[in-house]
Structure 1
Amino acid sequence: MDEPAFHQIVADVLKGEIDKYELIMNRCNKAIFNYCYHMLGDYAEAEDCTQEAFLKAYRNLSKFQPDKPFEAWLYSIACNQCIDYLRKRKLSRFLPFLYQKDQDNRHVDQVIEHKYYNPSVLRALARLTAEERSLLILRCVEDKSYQEISLILKHNTTYLRKKYERAAAKFRKHYAMAEGEETNEQGQRSGPETTLSKG
């Protein structure tokens, strides 16, 4: 669905054709759910957050600015919903992330490629702020451009690029520390899988 189609549906819904909002939900549900799940790390919470994001968007359709991409607006609502959830549970647990060891200093969005559940990843993410985690997820997992992320997180691209590099460095540092803790707890163990297919 292209941008004019989104805008037409929004216009139709605002004129009373509320059934057409289902077209937006069908088109965007999977992407928004995946984002919420990556942010929250809990399937049930991600489902609830996704529903609340769509409901909030529906209630605020009249505030949508047609000169902005609709999906970016929807992601920003989902982002705020996720942050509310995280605040409520005080960032107690986090999503497994897409990550490989930075063995050759490649850019983080090249090395964060494979999804797996790993305690060290959870510990590393627990040290990041919600904004840092959201930025890494949008860039590496959702494959959003900095321009798209700027519309979602309401920051300019220069700020986001600098923030991204700092967040990636923090993640690598905390991940290495967490790997050391895991080794101390369990004895020497092999590194994370690096051959899984990207989902």
Structure 2
Amino acid sequence: MSLDDKNGLETLYGVHRADIRRFLIARIGNAADADDVLQELWLKAQNLQAGPIDNGRAYLYRMAQNLVVDRLREKQRRMERERRWSDHTTDFAAAGVEPADRSQTAEEEILAREEVAALVSAISNLPDGARKAFELHKLEGLSHAEVAAQLGISKSGVEKHMAVAMKYLRRALQD
């Protein structure tokens, strides 16, 4: 049977509506969602451009299946979007509570800047050998052996300089 006008497809929709609904319920698993897809199918059938359709029933079933696949893909995209969002907003105090703004307050930023300034000042006031050893080891990431080679001292000397630096910095930052 060839359908050349949309009235033929709408008529077939009316004839096979109950069967298509059962088909959709079996695919989706939810009668309410199946009814939504069925409504969407009706709208698509009405707005379809006229053209030859050899098997109208098969065409309607294919349209229905395509709508189910579209919904499944959209659901997967939504779930992925929500998963990414929830990865950034974990640790809610209670369900349904908006996540707290984790950015620093102005006061916290000022305190952090003051701490950094105090640390920079404390490092610059270290004894010369301890400062050089500390900067090479902690800031540049060199091992004690590499620091020793660069400064021309023993590894034990580097360890002593580091102990002096750490003791001095702890005392300076606690005040």
TM bracket (short chain) = 0.3 to 0.5
Higher relative contact order (CA 8 A, sep 6+): 1
TM-score, normalization: structure 1?
Answer: 0.34
TM-score, normalization: structure 2?
Answer: 0.38
Considering fraction of residues, name the structure with more helix: 2
Q: Which has the larger radius of gyration?
A: 2
